[in-house]
Chains A and B, each alone.
Chain A
Amino acid sequence: MLIPLAAVAWRSVEDGPAAFLAAITYPESLSAMELTFALAIGVVAINALMGSLIAWVLVRDDFPGKSVINALIDLPFALPTIVAGLTLLTLYGPRSPFGLNLAYSQAGILVALLFVTLPFVVRSVQPVLLELDRDMEEAAASLGAGPATIVRRIVLPNLLPAILTGSALGFARAIGEFGSVVLISGNIPFKSEVASVNIYTQLENDDPGSAAAISVVLLVVSLVVLASLDWLQRRQSRGEASA
Chain B
Amino acid sequence: MTAAPVPVPATRGGAARGGAPRGVSHAVAASGRSAHVAKYGVRFVALGYLALLLALPVALVFYNTFAKGLGPVITALQQSDFQHAFWLTLTITLVAVPLNTIFGVVAALALVRRKFRGRGLLNALIDLPFALSPVVIGLSLILVYGKNGWLGGILQANGIQVIFALPSMILATIFVSLPFVVREVIPVLREIGTDQEEAAYTLGASPWRTFWRVTLPAIRWGVIYGVILTTARALGEFGAVSIVSGKISGKTETLTLNVEDRYQEFDLVGAYTASIVLALMAVAVLLAMNVYQSGRFRGNGGKLVDDAAPGVAAGEVR
Question: Footprint of B on A, CB under 8 Å?
Answer: 1-5, 7-8, 10-11, 50, 53-54, 56-63, 66-67, 69-83, 86-88, 90-92, 97, 111, 114-115, 118, 126-127, 130-131, 134-135, 137-138, 141-142, 146-147, 169, 172-173, 175-179, 182-183, 195-197, 199-200, 203, 208, 211-212, 215, 218-219, 222-223, 225-227, 230
Whether A147 pairs with B133 at a CB distance below 8 angstroms is no
Distance, CA A183 to CA B265, complexed state (A): 13
Interface centre among A4, A10, A87, A111, by most B CB within 10 Å?
A: A4
Whether A71 pairs with B286 at a CB distance below 8 angstroms is yes
Residues of A with C-beta under 8 A to B128: 1, 5, 222-223, 226
Assuming A67-B1, A86-B271, A222-B131, what are 19 further A-B pairs, CB within 8 angstroms? A3-B150, A57-B42, A59-B307, A60-B312, A61-B42, A72-B54, A72-B55, A80-B278, A81-B256, A82-B257, A88-B57, A90-B61, A115-B54, A138-B16, A175-B133, A182-B260, A196-B133, A215-B135, A226-B131
Question: Footprint of A on B, CB under 8 Å?
Answer: 1-2, 12, 15-16, 19, 21, 31, 34-35, 38-39, 42-43, 45-47, 49-50, 53-58, 60-61, 64, 124-125, 127-137, 139-144, 148-150, 175, 178, 229, 232, 235-239, 242-243, 255-257, 259-260, 263, 271-272, 275, 278-279, 282-283, 285-286, 289-290, 305, 307-310, 312-317
Question: Quick one: closest A residue to B52, CB to CB?
Answer: A91
17 A-B interface contacts by CB (under 8 A) = A1-B128, A5-B128, A53-B46, A54-B50, A58-B308, A63-B43, A70-B2, A77-B232, A83-B256, A90-B57, A134-B12, A134-B15, A135-B15, A169-B131, A196-B136, A199-B133, A200-B242
Residues of A with C-beta under 8 A to B133: 175-178, 195-196, 199, 215, 218, 222
